[in-house]
């Protein structure tokens, strides 16, 4: 009879969170969320959302965690910083892409004009050459323009991104102190 008694285990209620992020950032996010009381849910494994570069991670945290309101506030601040970093990362290349594509379209318009000039009756060879030169420039220059603008943006935005990471580390440090 005594052997059939089962040990009583204390009840713990959990709240759950699903993280979907780039594979390159998943380790950073797991480490950061642990500072807000979250832990990996061993019962639910990490999932690769193939064929993309994204990964899904399941996390859980005790519903009755101490300082839950403050931890949640810090977590929201952390998530806002992550969003700002992602926006800054995209901004590194977005302006360069816009300018490059615009210049490429303008070059294509010149090439179209050149083509129409040479196929007209009678053919306007001089006009074709005059329009083809900026057309070719408009096709070649976007690559170099993209690289130049991207380099300028990287130099400008990298310090801002580093400041956001410093802010994240401070937020995680505060969260970690609340858990102790």
What is the mean pLDDT of the segment spanning 22-39?
Answer: 90
Q: What tens digit of pLDDT does each residue of 34-90 get? A: 999 898 887 776 666 556 788 888 999 888 888 889 999 999 999 999 999 999 999
Which regions of 3-161 does DSSP assign to beta strands (E)? 14-22, 39-40, 47-48, 54-62
- Confirm if 139 and 100 have CB atoms less than 8 A apart: no
Binned at pLDDT 50, 70 and 90, residue 1 comes out as very low
Task: Kindly report the backbone phi and psi dihedral angles of residue 46, in degrees, each rounded to the nearest multiple of 5, phi listed first.
Answer: -65, 140
Give the model confidence (pLDDT) of 115-146 as tens digits.
Answer: 999 998 898 999 999 999 999 999 999 999 99
What is the pLDDT, as a whole number, of residue 43? Answer: 76
Q: Which two tokens stand for residue 117?
A: 């000039």
Q: What is the pTM of this model?
A: 0.77
Q: What are the helix and strand counts (H, E) for the chain?
A: 3, 4
pLDDT for position 102 = 97
Give, as one character, the DSSP assignment of residue 157.
H
Q: Locate tokens 């050459």: which residue?
A: 129
Cβ contacts of 161 within 8 Å, gap of 6 or more: 85, 88, 89
User: Does residue 92 register a pLDDT over 90?
Assistant: yes
């Amino acid at each position: 009879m005594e052997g059939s008694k089962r040990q009583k285990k204390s009840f713990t209620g959990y709240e759950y969170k699903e993280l979907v992020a780039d594979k390159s950032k998943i380790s950073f996010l797991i480490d950061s969320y642990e500072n807000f009381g979250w832990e990996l849910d061993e019962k639910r494994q990490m999932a690769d959302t193939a064929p993309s570069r994204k990964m899904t991670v399941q996390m859980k945290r005790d519903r009755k965690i101490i300082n839950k309101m403050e931890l949640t506030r810090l977590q929201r601040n952390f998530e806002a910083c992550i969003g700002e970093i992602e926006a800054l990362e995209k901004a590194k290349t977005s302006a360069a892409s816009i300018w490059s594509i615009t210049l490429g379209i303008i070059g294509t318009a010149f090439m179209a004009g050149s083509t129409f000039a040479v196929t007209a009756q009678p053919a306007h060879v001089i006009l074709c050459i005059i329009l083809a030169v900026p057309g070719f420039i408009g096709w070649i220059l976007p690559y170099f323009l993209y690289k130049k603008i991207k380099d300028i943006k990287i130099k400008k935005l990298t310090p801002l991104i580093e400041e956001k990471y410093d802010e994240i580390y401070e937020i995680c440090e505060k969260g970690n102190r609340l858990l102790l």
